[in-house]
Amino acid sequence: MTVKITVNGRAEAVEAELDTPLLWVIRDELGLTGTKFGCGVAQCGACTVFVNGQPRRSCVTPIGTIPDADITTIEGVSDKVAKAVQAAWTEIDVPQCGYCQSGQIMSAIALLSEIDKPSDRDIDLAMNGNVCRCCTYHRIRAAIHDASKRMEG
Amino acid sequence: MTIAFAPSRRAFVQASGATALVLGVHIPLGNRGKAVAAEAAFTPNAFVQIGADNTITVVCKHIEFGQGPYTGVATILADELDADWNQIRVVSAPADVEKYANSAFGVQGTGGSTAMANSWDQLRTAGAEARARLIAAAAAAWNVGAGEITIDNGVLKHSDGKSGTFGEFVDGATRVTLTAPATPKTKDAYRYIGKHVPKVDTVSKTNGTAQYTIDVKLPDMLTCVIARPPRFAGKAKSFDASGALTIKGVKEVFTVPQGVAVLATGYWPARKGMEALKVEWDESGTEGRGTEGLMQEFKKLADDKGVVARNDGDIDGALSGAATIIEATYTFPYLAHAPMEPNDCVIRRTADGGVEMLFGSQMPTVDQASAAKVLGLDPKKVSITTLLAGGSFGRRATPSGDMAIEAADVLKAAKHQGPIKVIWTREDDIKGGRYRPVFVHKLKGGVDKDGKIVAWQQVIVGQSFMKGSPFESAMLKDGVDVTMVEGAATLPYQIPNLEVSAHIVEVGVPTLWWRSVGSTHTAYSTETFLDELAALSGTDPLEIRRQLLAKHPRHLGVLNLAAEKAGWGSSLPDGKARGIAVHESFKSFVAQVVEVSLGEDGLPKVERVVCAVDCGIAINPEIIKAQMEGGIGYGLSGSLYGAVDLDNGVVRQSNFHDYRVLRINEMPTVEVYIVPSEEKPTGVGEPGVPPIAPAVANAWAKLTGQRIHDLPFSRFVPNA
């Protein structure tokens, strides 16, 4: 089947079985590998992307359920919030192995797009679906607060 | 960062049989130096190369999976050369035991928190040699004395105003011979060591460009997913692939020693194909016991003394003469490492009749030899390109080269002649073994009428993953596996009568080291039991440690620093309690003080951790702090929730929904303090882990009166 989607602003016509998760369309068909596979069952958040502006776990989103969707991956984020988040992540040296960080950053951008001054409780609620086995959580929290400050400027 | 699959022109890499300088992590300046020093380059040794374009390439023999060795080696070399930080790039060393062996193990590998300990002298010497030769070349060119030349931020300078870059002296430095061995800098001249430098891999890990094994894409490559037996060591007897072969994208299905392999055009069809297989398994000789039964067997064994690992004084006499004796039996479950990137490996045939493997190889020369054996090749024909890996925590360091063997088995059996990427599912990872072994500890302690601890007897029961491994001769001494008893047989407390013994049990479940190895269980039993003995006389937990560690200044240093920063002894609000623990592992010393309350879910809520670490000279203080933070989270995750259980030999858990791991809302605030030291650098990847669980248990006992002897907490805390 051919499925039409827009990825990072580019119109794509993808040949894929309709049950193929968006994750594997992005990675194996479109070659965008910043979005990661961690669990396949929406338990770790490594595969988080935006579908029509909302964060989604791409590993459990069949491509057939989102025709004509507008997708943004880590490779395509570029707005003010994204820049603030990436700058904060770099300044605070958040990543260790780094594998989960694309997903963490996507969730953080989604949070800060919704709430520009999140409380620790807001951070817990927005980020607890993203697992980091290096447990960089302490720095993720600090980086989200830091990004929030950067967005003021 | 770039992955360049083009062959390198650089002799020092070619000579080792690798095909390319494959992985470069660039510090800021974009793509500069991507192709590495074009025509001329100065390569004084196996660890550093300076190009005519002024790029300094550092070869790192340790894999980068989050513990920071790439930045660590860059820091040491940049410092020794007084380089501009922006000149430095880091590449991964090819598999070459002669050049890149870890002096701690004799093979090329990362582990035991040795990356910096094993690089400190080696890289400072390598850097000093490069520096001296650059200076000698400049001195000859300028016709001045070498002693009159200084280096500042990557620029060679002479007092009369002459100056030049490293790149200008590449040719000259290659030709000069040094009249005396170059000596590394002294501490007062450090430029980067001990300071905060940005990690070399951070930017690529925040914009999705960092390349891991799972990201490798090669022309004509197929993806492999394997149907694996329900019980360890099961073999595929027969299979029906008719369903699998109807799935679009599935190319072939065949048996391998690990199970039944499905090759497809991508992960999704391969996984669907694997699920559509009907496999009949031969389960002869597989392990059929469950973990509950194993625990009972282990507990029985723990009633009797094992092979003695340490024996001070007269334990039997001391126990019979003690005023009070207490006993405790501890149980520890199997633990999966569950790194974020499950096992994977890319393998392809090369033009010279060999193979190339690209993956997060933690023991490249072991993996090289293992794959070569499967394929009937000379190990020199197996090149390994070590890529960034999404965590390991011990999982990728298999002494038997499991992942390399599996990829080689798949390549060997496949009709497909192009590259193959083998990917484990998360279920494969959780169910796939190589766990931290189950352990049972039995402790018996005695105090005299004044409350002084006079007897300490510990029996440890568990599997040995050293037995039968290439490290057996080094790690199994007089019937004792040192990795089973480390932290217990090395107990630093001054107790006159102390005996530690161990029983090795054979179980058909593959096991492995898990971040901090023996200390994952010995720190817990020893540090909580000490608190129980101290409580008999009402002695404060900090005070008892101070008394018994009088001859151990580095333990005392971290203990006192953590206690001071945490405000030990000051009052806490109702509903909160403190606990403390101190432990040495991998020659580093760590103490932690925790503040714990009762969480909404009935489990300990760890609110604050104050950590003090002595790891010798602090090369990268920020990385040390990050490793303590990460180690604390990892240890907390395992002790609060971690357990892999078997029913009749079949693993019960399968993914993160039932193998629960720590999440952001469960992470405490962490403060890390580093003890200033002149000692050589020691490890930081693992030593943050051991103290956290016992510190939490000690705080929990203070808060609730409950002593937790069985892990994880989630199973044994009422109402959790």
pLDDT one-digit tens code per residue, B504-548: 999 999 999 999 999 999 999 999 999 999 999 999 999 999 999
Q: Are residues B272 and B401 in the same domain?
A: yes
Give the mean pLDDT of chain B: 93
Q: Is residue B430 part of a domain?
A: no
Domain boundary among B205, B227, B245: B205
Least confident of B33-42, B142-151, B369-378: B33-42
Residue B389 to residue A21, Cβ atoms within 8 A: no
pLDDT at B18 over 80: no
Domains of chain A: 2-74 (3.10.20.30), 80-152 (1.10.150.120)
Closest chain B residue by Cα to residue A34:
B208
B193: Cβ contacts below 8 Å, ≥ 6 apart: B75, B76, B79, B617, B619
Residues belonging to chain A: 153
Q: Please report the pLDDT score of residue B720 as a whole number.
A: 67
Reported as a single tens digit per residue, the pLDDT across B188-222 is 999 999 999 999 999 999 999 999 999 999 999 99
Which residue of chain A comes nearest to B634, CA vs CA? A135
Counting one residue from chain A and one from chain B, the pairs whose CB atoms sit within 8 A come to 179
Do B493 and B393 have their domain in common?
no
Question: Which residues of chain A does B664 touch, with a Cβ-Cβ cutoff of 8 Å?
Answer: 123-124, 127-128, 130, 132, 137, 140-141
**Residue B21 located in a structural domain:** yes
Looking at B205, B222, B256, which one is the last position of a domain?
B205
The reply to whether B382 falls in a domain is yes
With CA atoms as reference, report the closest residue to A126 among A135, A139, A134, A140: A140
Residue B444 and residue B327 in contact, taking contact as beta carbons nearer than 8 Å: yes
Q: Hey, which bits of B241-353 come out as E strands?
A: 250-256, 259-264, 278-282, 307-312, 324-332, 344-349
Please say if the pLDDT value at position B27 is more than 80. no
Domain count within chain B: 3
Q: Which residues form the domain of B418?
A: 213-284+343-423
Tell me the mean pLDDT in the region B349-373: 96
DSSP string, B479-539: TEEHHHHTTTTT--S--SEEEEEEEE---SS-B---TTTTHHHHHHHHHHHHHHHHHHTT-
Does the residue B648 lie in any domain? yes
SS3 content of chain B, % helix, strand, coil (to 5): 30, 25, 45
Q: Residue B469: its pLDDT value, please?
A: 87
The pLDDT, as a whole number, for residue B718 is 73
The per-residue pLDDT for A128 is: 97
Contact B630 A135 (CB under 8 A): yes
Span B650-690, pLDDT tens digits: 999 999 999 999 999 999 999 999 999 999 999 999 999 99
Please check whether residues B398 and B496 belong to one and the same domain.
no
DSSP-derived pairing of the beta strands B476-477 and B420-423: unpaired
Task: Reduce the secondary structure of chain A to three states and give it as a string.
Answer: CEEEEEECCEEEEEECCCCCEHHHHHHHHCCCCCCCCCCCCCCCCCCEEEECCEEEEHHHCEHHHCCCCEEECHHHCCCHHHHHHHHHHHHCCCCCCCCCHHHHHHHHHHHHHHCCCCCHHHHHHHHCCCCCCCCCHHHHHHHHHHHHHHHHC
Q: What is the pLDDT of residue B510?
A: 97
Give the pair of three-digit tokens for residue B676. 């200033």
A10-50 pLDDT tens trace: 999 999 999 999 999 999 999 999 999 999 999 999 999 99
Indicate if the pLDDT at residue B3 is higher than 60. no
Q: B330 and B381 share a domain?
A: no
Please spell the DSSP secondary structure of B134-161, one letter per residue: HHHHHHHHHTS-GGGEEEETTEEEETTS
Residue B2 has pLDDT above 70, yes or no: no
B102 in helix, strand or coil? Answer: coil
Q: What is the pLDDT of residues B690-720, one digit of tens each?
A: 999 999 999 999 999 999 999 999 998 876 6
Q: Is the pLDDT of residue B39 over 90?
A: no
Structure tokens at B26: 């660039």
Of A32, A34, A128, the CB nearest to B663: A128
Q: Chain A residue closest to B624 (CA)?
A: A96
pLDDT digits 0-9 by tens, B415-430: 999 999 999 999 999 9
Which helix (H) or strand (E) segment holds residue B714: the answer is helix B713-716
Residues of B in contact with A31 (CB under 8 A): 217
Q: What is the pLDDT of residue B668?
A: 98
| B330 plus B356 within the same structural domain | no
Same domain, B568 and B515: yes
Do residues B565 and B496 share a domain?
yes
pLDDT at site B103: 82
Position A76 scores a pLDDT of 98
ipTM > 0.95 (yes/no): yes
Dist. CA B450–CA B539, nearest whole Å: 11
Q: Which comes out higher in pLDDT, residue B318 or B108?
A: B318
Q: Are B312 and B497 in contact (CB under 8 A)?
A: yes
Residues B676 and B550 in one domain: yes
| Domain-embedded: residue B429 | no
Judgement on whether residues B415 and B453 belong to the same structural domain of the protein:
no
The strand pair at B344-349 and B355-359 is best described as antiparallel
- Nearest chain A Cα distance for residue B61, angstroms: 17
φ, ψ of residue B558 to 5 degrees: the values are: -75, -35
Is B251 a domain residue?
A: yes
Retrieve residue B380's tokens.
């020199």
Beta-strand runs (E) in B390-452: 420-423, 439-447
Of the three residues B150, B182, B205, the one that is the final residue of a domain is: B205
**Over residues B579-592, mean pLDDT:** 98
Nearest beta carbon to residue A95 from set B205, B338, B632: B205
Q: Which of B211, B630, B664 sits opposite A134 (nearest CB)?
A: B630
Q: List pLDDT tens digits, range B53-98.
A: 999 999 999 999 999 999 999 999 999 999 999 999 999 999 888 8
B357 in the same domain as B330: no
Nearest residue of B to residue A16, measured between CA atoms: B248
B222: nearest CA partner in chain A:
A28
pLDDT at position B112 = 87
Q: Which phi and psi angles does B159 have, rounded to 5°?
A: -60, -25
Q: In whole angstroms, how far apart are CA B284 and each of B237, B260, B290?
A: 11, 17, 17
What are the tens digits of pLDDT across the range B295-317? 999 999 999 999 999 999 999 99
pLDDT in tens, A100-130: 999 999 999 999 999 999 999 999 999 999 9
CATH number of the domain that B352 lies in? 3.30.365.10
The pLDDT of B466-479, averaged and rounded, is 88
Residue B6 has pLDDT above 50, yes or no: no
Residue B33's pLDDT band, with cuts at 50, 70 and 90, is very low
Chain B contact set for A132 (CB, 8 A): 340, 664
Q: B248: which chain A residues are within 8 Å (Cβ-Cβ)?
A: 17
Q: Calculate what percentage of chain B has a pLDDT beyond 90.
A: 88
**B223 to A134: CB separation less than 8 angstroms, yes or no:** no
Same-domain check for residues B173 and B199? yes
In a domain? residue B528: yes
Quote the CA–CA distance of B381 and B385 in Å, as a whole number. Answer: 13
pLDDT of residue B95: 87
Could you tell me if B465 and B384 lie in one domain? Answer: no
Average pLDDT, stretch B252-258?
Answer: 98
Q: Are A46 and A100 in contact (CB under 8 A)?
A: yes
The answer to whether residue B428 sits within a structural domain is no
* Cross-chain CB nearest to B629 (options A44, A131, A138): A138
